[in-house]
Amino acid sequence: MTVIFRLAAAGLMVGGALAGCASAPRAVSPPAAASALPAGLHATPPSLGQFPYSDADVDFMAGMIPHHAQAVIMAAWAPTHGARADVAILCARILVGQSDEIKLMQTWLNDRGLEVPDAKSTKHKMKMGGMEHEMLMPGMLTDEQMAALDKARGPEFDRLFLEGMIGHHQGAIDMVDVLFKAYGAAQDETVFKFANDVFADQSIEIDVMKKMLAGTTAHLEKTR
């Protein structure tokens, strides 16, 4: 299934599927009042859109901020860690693009009066059983992996960065899949567009990075 076809399938939202998984139904018209909304759905302020947002939307946007924050940290190391030209260009794109997307997600949460994660925090805070827990989102590097990446230079940095970012991007795609499976999710226009952008952009970048990694691995094997 091509990326274009998958995005089109996600756009149907009713009776369609994304990667073989049922996507969230898109409402035909907004409920007349917030009290008419089912559990887990919330009325969007009138000035921000006509469709409701869901608990799944909030979890997705709040969780993607620390996910992006780690990618920004990783990408920012390229100039000081001896990244080769093509890796450095990719890092610059990730740095700018995901920094802008963090601002978009923070604005979306703030406009709805919701808790806004810090742009530099790489741990997602969740409340369970009356206690707050910090966790890594899917695909994120552990503290040990981040330390190893920070220590690496040149081709070794390229290899660890590409391996780590491929898994990182796949984790973001998995988060999109979870979002579209959730009841009532992605009816909000901003969430819907952003989630599809994440899926499309990061799917393409995974393919690019796999090719770059093959070249990096071959170079390292020759120099050993």
pTM of the model: 0.81
**In which band, very low, low, confident or very high, does the pLDDT at 134 lie, cut at 50, 70 and 90?**
confident
- Eight-class DSSP state of 164: H
Ordered domains of the chain (ranges, CATH): 3-13+54-118+136-223 (1.20.1260.10)
CA separation for the pair 205, 202 (Å, rounded)? 5
pLDDT surpasses 60 at 20: no
pLDDT in tens, 22-66: 333 344 344 445 568 999 999 999 999 999 999 999 999 999 999
**Quick one: pLDDT band at residue 220, thresholds 50, 70, 90?**
low
Collect all residues with Cβ–Cβ distance below 8 Å to 113 and sequence separation of at least 6: none
> CA–CA separation, 34 vs 108, rounded Å?
19
